[in-house]
Structures are given as structure tokens and as C-alpha cells.
Amino acid sequence: MLWPGTLIGAGAGFAIASIPGAMLGALLGQALDRRLHLQSWGHLREKLGGRPMLRNDELLFVLLGRLAKSDGRVTDGHIQQARNEMNALEMSEPARRRAIAAFNRGKSGGDHLRGYLRRLSAQPHAAEGVLRACWRMVWADGRAGVSERELLAQWGKWLGWTTHQIQALASDYEPHKRPIVSAAVSYQEAMRLLGVSVTSEPAQIKRAYRRLLSRHHPDKIAGSGATPEQVREATEKTRELHNAFSLIRARRDFR
């Protein structure tokens, strides 16, 4: 891992006072690294450019925003998938606002993510959860483009994953040829899937949807030691819940 302040301090100290100066400069640079939490040259550039460092809970949505914009256009499916992730994480309103800001920040493509992801590689379960969420975003518009695959290959490498491991996750989220819930499914069937009725208020429907989404979220299933088949089933169930909720929301005309 690079410590830019340490390297700069050592170099400057050596130029001024040879080896003793390098040692003193390295110590001062290390103190600066720790104070500013600098872990890469990208972090330093962000600090110098006035761009705030990413919080841990913002990194995921920066990645999702970068993927959504990678082919040039963010679709409604991408936006809905970002909302699905917020719902599954049961984010508070302030956390949602940060996530939305991070998603928009990711679309700009201005962040240097290598340092963040290398740090995350020390947490294998969290790293897997990020990659799974990224694949869900990739498939949100029904296809995986070249640029999206290239981004995931690079990010996976920084997280310590092999190309084979990264691609193996893709099949867990690849859309089936036949949608699970379509417009042909009745309004009553969609309500049954969410466990609500025609008299349920919008707030009740939203709570039911978020509760079920959290229960069947693929990351939660994977974290409990589920088999790949069980993760695929959870992915299908999540998509089914999303489509049912979309149908009810369109019929009842609420956001």
C-alpha cells in the first residue's frame, strides 16, 4: 500500500539533508498520512482537489453509479436497482441522502477507487457483497456491456479476486429469458406476493416490500453459507418482489 505523505517527506528530506533528512521527512510524512487518512496517490489528488474522502457506506454507491453510467446512459432500471440496494440495507433517511449523493458522484467518474478497494480486500465478506451488488447493477438493464465487465474485472483485481471468481458471480444474477412477474400477472397475485391487500395504505405496502426484500436479499443468503443454487433462488425472489411492487405502485399511483 502506498503512503504518499511518507514518500514525499522522505524524498524531500533526502534532498535537503541526505539520509538523516529522509528519516525525519518520512516520520513527518507518516504523521500527515495518518492525520489525513491518505492511502494512495489517488487519495492525495482528491484531497488537493478539494474532493472529500469517501466514507465506507458511500463507496458501494459510488461504484454503482460508475457502472450505471459506464455505457453512457443511466436507465430507470439502474435507478431502481440503487433504490433496491438502499431498501435491502434498511438505510435511514440521512444514509439514503448520502447514498444518492454517492451514486451521482460515481456517475461523474472522478474518484480514484484503487486505494479504497485494496483496503476493502482485507474484509472478504464485505468485498464479496460489493461485487454481488455490482453485478446486480450490471444486469439491471438486462445486459452486461463490455465497459461494465472491464470495470468489474479491474475492481475485482484490486479486491484480490481472480477473473474466474468474478465471472462466476455473474451467473447468479443474469436475467432469465422469461420474466418472473410480468404485466400478465394479476394485480391480486402481486398483492399476494407482498402479503398486502387492496385496503393497504402505500406506507404499509412499502414496509412489506422492504421487509421481504431484506429477508430474501442474495447478500444475506450468501453470508449465511448458502449454496450457489440458493443464492440464485434468492436473486429470482428479489426480482419477483421488485416486479410485484412495481406493478402495485403503478396501479395505485404512488412513489
CB 3 within 8 A of CB 38: yes
Cell numbers 456517475: residue: 107
Closest CA to 7 of 40, 37, 36, 35: 40
C-alpha cell at 114: 484503487
At 137 the pLDDT is 93
pLDDT per residue as tens, the chain (255 positions):
456 556 565 566 556 766 766 666 556 656 655 655 555 555 555 554 445 566 777 899 999 999 999 988 898 889 989 998 888 888 889 999 999 999 999 998 878 888 889 888 888 888 888 998 999 999 888 788 899 999 999 999 999 999 888 888 887 777 654 344 444 457 888 888 899 888 889 999 999 998 888 888 877 777 777 777 787 788 888 888 888 888 888 888 777
Q: What is the pLDDT of residue 11?
A: 63
Among residues 60, 240, 222, the alpha carbon closest in space to that of 134 is found at 60
Query: What is the residue whose three cell numbers read 425472489?
Result: 237
| pLDDT given for residue 52 in this prediction | 57
Distance between CA atoms of residues 157 and 160, nearest Å: 5
Alpha helices by DSSP H, listed for the chain, are 4-36, 41-48, 56-69, 76-88, 93-108, 114-120, 124-138, 146-158, 163-170, 187-194, 202-215, 218-223, 228-252
Helix axes 228-252, 202-215, angle to 10 degrees: 170
* Short-list 76, 83, 66, CA closest to 134: 66
Q: Tell me the three state secondary structure of residue 172.
A: coil
In which residue are the cell numbers 524524498 written?
Answer: 11
Nearest to 230 by CA among 220, 239, 243: 220
pTM of the model: 0.59
pLDDT for position 225:
74
Angstrom distance (rounded) from CA 180 to CA 197: 21
Q: What's the pLDDT score for residue 157? A: 94
User: What values do phi and psi take at 166, rounded to 5?
Assistant: -65, -45
Q: Sign of dihedral through CA atoms 33, 37, 43, 47?
A: negative
| Predicted pLDDT at 181 | 45
Question: Cα–Cα distance between 32 and 80 in angstroms, integer?
Answer: 41
Amino acid at 245: F
Instruction: Find cell 420474466 and name the residue.
Output: 179
CA atoms within 13 A on the CB side of 174: 9
